[in-house]
């Protein structure tokens, strides 16, 4: 890198540091609490008022979406500047001001495939957290075989008419808008899918939360009955939605493997070795008394370390312009396995302490582990099952052929 570029980056660092120092409210420098995560949208309550201030300030600089173009409200930062911003935020332990499917999945896809009018209309509201988006992909009959989706979208001349059902729609009951895969041609499979956007308050839309084994309801069944959608809300070409859908899945898999959503992490939960030490004990050399569990914890920790080194290695290679083929599937597969193994070990190390559900008598953190353990079972199902990811690796990376 040229010296001037280095100087400019250091100037940017100094300015960023000063701005964050000035503008990041004190409580936004403490570990995120589960109920203070800001998802934005019309119904956002901002339980902690400082999180509203923080979001507004960050959004005004476009720093909720640091690398998106300025003309749509993004930060317009270079990758190097975005890294500096991330480093400076980590330095003061600043919270992410906004969690958003719009930022992680829909926005990047719209920037790539949307027309100018659509980008002007939707991107700034994502940056500012004014619109909360949900994802209408899976259907009761189309899970791993997503392209088999049947939700109908008929051209009625001056509008589209949508009828059908989606399932596993994350937070559909809390979202303002949906990006949705619909069928515009029933005679073909992949080539008959379109990508369309509509308001969740449209007449004929109903979202019902699904109670999961974890006792929580992050997903909904979503029903569409004669929903009218203006024609300018279809993204890309009619019947050209599958390309957009696949690209968006790559963004989704990357953000899942980067720990973007799913569990919120942290929350005072310790490692399985810590709970094992506490509940099982150690010998005079400090070794866990349960040698078998100790070995399995080590297997897991080594896997986790190898995984994070692989994320680093691939990031470095990508930065240096080296080919990193289908990274997302490898990392998505590994992340699911890692998170599930971790929670199996946590629950095992906790013993009966890990069996609390609600009320008194159990450590609150342990009760959180119990819920997260059950939630983690979805990691190998959502966003492409592990089996589908193995298919992708074997076909696209290893070049193995389909059965004739």
Partner 1 sequence: MTFLLTEDQEMLRDTAMAFARDELPVTHLRQLRDSGANGKDPATRQKLAELGFFGVIVPEEPGGEHFGLVGLGQILEAQGRTLAATPLLQTALIGASAIQLGGTPAQQAEWLPKIAGGDVTFALALDESAHFNPLNVATEAERNGQGYTINGEKRYVPDGHHADMLIVVARTFGEAGDRHGLSLFLVPADAKGVSIQELKTADSHGAAHITFTDVMVGEGALIGAADEGADVLEPVLDRAAIGQAAEMLGSAQAAFDMTLEYLQSRKQFGQLIGSFQSLQHRAAKMFTELEMTRSCVAAALSAVDEGKTNVAELASLAKAKASELVHLVSNECVQMHGGIGMTDVADPGLYMKRARAQEAMYGSASWHRDRYAKLNGY
Residues recognised as catalytic = 252
Q: How far is the CB of 311 from partner 1 (least distance, A)?
A: 8
Decide whether 205 or 381 has the Cβ nearer to partner 1: 381
Q: Which of 67, 95, 83 is nearest to 13 (CA)?
A: 83
Q: Which residues pair with 163 in a beta bridge?
A: 152
Element housing 169 (H / E): strand 159-170
Q: Which helix (H) or strand (E) holds 91?
A: helix 79-91
Name the minimum Å distance from CB 313 to partner 1: 4
The residue (of 75 and 334) whose beta carbon lies closer to partner 1 is 334
The residue range among 34-42, 147-155, 191-199, 285-293 that interacts with partner 1, by the rule CB under 8 A, is 285-293
What does DSSP say about strands 133-136 and 177-183: parallel, antiparallel, or unpaired? parallel
Choice between 153 and 346, CB closer to partner 1: 346
**For residue 149, which phi and psi values (nearest 5 degrees)?**
-60, 150
Whole-angstrom Cα distance, residue 78 to residue 239?
A: 34
Q: Does 258 bind partner 1 (CB under 8 A)?
A: no
Asked whether 380 and 340 are in contact (CB, 8 A), the reply is yes
Phi-psi region of 235 (alpha: psi -120 to 50; beta: other; left: phi over 0): beta
Please tell me whether residue 286 binds partner 1 under the rule CB under 8 A.
Answer: yes
Asked if 43 is part of the footprint of partner 1 (rule: CB under 8 A), the reply reads no
Output 43 or 396, the one with its CB closest to partner 1: 396
Q: DSSP 3-state assignment of 208?
A: strand
CB of 305 to partner 1, least distance (A): 6
Q: CA nearest 344: which of 370, 368, 380, 306?
A: 370
385 lies in the binding site for partner 1 (CB under 8 A) = no
Compute how many residues bind partner 1; rule: CB under 8 A.
46
CB 168 within 8 A of CB 208: no
Q: Does the protein bind partner 1 through residue 333 (CB under 8 A)?
A: yes
Q: Is 295 in the site for partner 1 (CB under 8 A)?
A: yes
Identify the residue among 107, 192, 263, 334 touching partner 1 (CB under 8 A): 334
Nearer to partner 1, 155 or 299 (CB): 299
User: Among 315, 316, 308, which Cα is nearest to 334's?
Assistant: 308
Backbone angles phi and psi of 221, in degrees to 5: -90, 135
Is position 309 an interface residue for partner 1 (rule: CB under 8 A)? yes
Select from 76-84, 130-138, 286-294, 368-376 the region that touches partner 1 (CB under 8 A).
286-294
Structure tokens at 282: 């150690």
Assess 87 for contact with partner 1 (CB under 8 A).
no
Query: What residue ranges bind partner 1 (CB under 8 A)?
Result: 273-274, 276-277, 282, 285-288, 294-295, 297-299, 301-303, 305-307, 309-310, 312-313, 316-317, 320, 322, 330, 333-334, 387, 389-391, 393-395, 397-404
């Amino acid at each position: 890198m040229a010296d001037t570029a280095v100087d400019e980056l250091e100037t940017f660092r100094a300015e960023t540091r000063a701005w964050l120092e000035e503008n990041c409210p004190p409580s936004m420098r403490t570990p995120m609490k589960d109920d203070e995560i800001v998802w934005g949208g019309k119904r956002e309550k901002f339980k902690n008022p400082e999180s509203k201030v923080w979001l507004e300030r960050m959004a005004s600089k476009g720093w909720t979406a640091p690398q998106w173009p300025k003309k749509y409200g993004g930060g317009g930062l270079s990758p190097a500047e975005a890294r500096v911003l991330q480093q400076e935020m980590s330095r003061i332990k600043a919270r992410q001001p906004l969690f958003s499917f719009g930022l992680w999945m829909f926005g990047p896809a719209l920037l790539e495939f949307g027309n100018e009018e659509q980008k002007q209309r939707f991107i700034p509201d994502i940056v500012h957290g004014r619109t909360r988006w949900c994802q209408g992909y899976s259907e009761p009959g189309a899970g791993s075989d997503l392209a088999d989706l049947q939700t109908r979208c008929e051209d009625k001349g001056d509008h589209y008419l949508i009828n059908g059902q989606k399932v596993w729609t994350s937070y559909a009951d809390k979202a303002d808008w949906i990006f949705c895969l619909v069928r515009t041609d029933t005679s073909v499979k992949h080539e008959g899918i379109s990508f369309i956007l509509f308001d969740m308050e449209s007449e004929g839309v109903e979202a019902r939360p699904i109670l999961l084994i974890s006792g929580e309801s992050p997903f909904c069944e979503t029903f569409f009955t004669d929903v009218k959608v203006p024609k300018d809300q279809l993204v890309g070409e009619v019947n050209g939605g599958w390309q957009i859908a696949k690209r968006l899945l790559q963004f989704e898999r990357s953000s899942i493997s980067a720990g973007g959503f799913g569990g919120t992490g942290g929350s005072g939960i310790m490692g399985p070795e810590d709970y094992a030490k506490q509940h099982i004990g150690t010998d005079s050399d400090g070794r866990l008394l349960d040698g078998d569990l100790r070995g399995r914890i080590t297997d897991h920790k080594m896997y986790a370390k190898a995984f994070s080194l692989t994320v680093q290695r691939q990031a470095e290679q990508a930065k240096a312009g080296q080919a990193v083929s289908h990274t997302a599937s490898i990392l998505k597969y590994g992340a699911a396995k890692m998170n599930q193994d971790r929670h199996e070990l946590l629950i095992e190390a906790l013993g009966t302490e890990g069996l609390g559900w609600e009320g008194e008598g159990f450590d609150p953190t342990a009760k959180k582990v119990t819920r997260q353990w059950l939630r983690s079972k979805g990691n190998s199902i959502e966003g492409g099952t592990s089996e589908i990811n193995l298919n992708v690796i074997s076909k696209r990376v290893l070049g193995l052929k389909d059965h004739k």
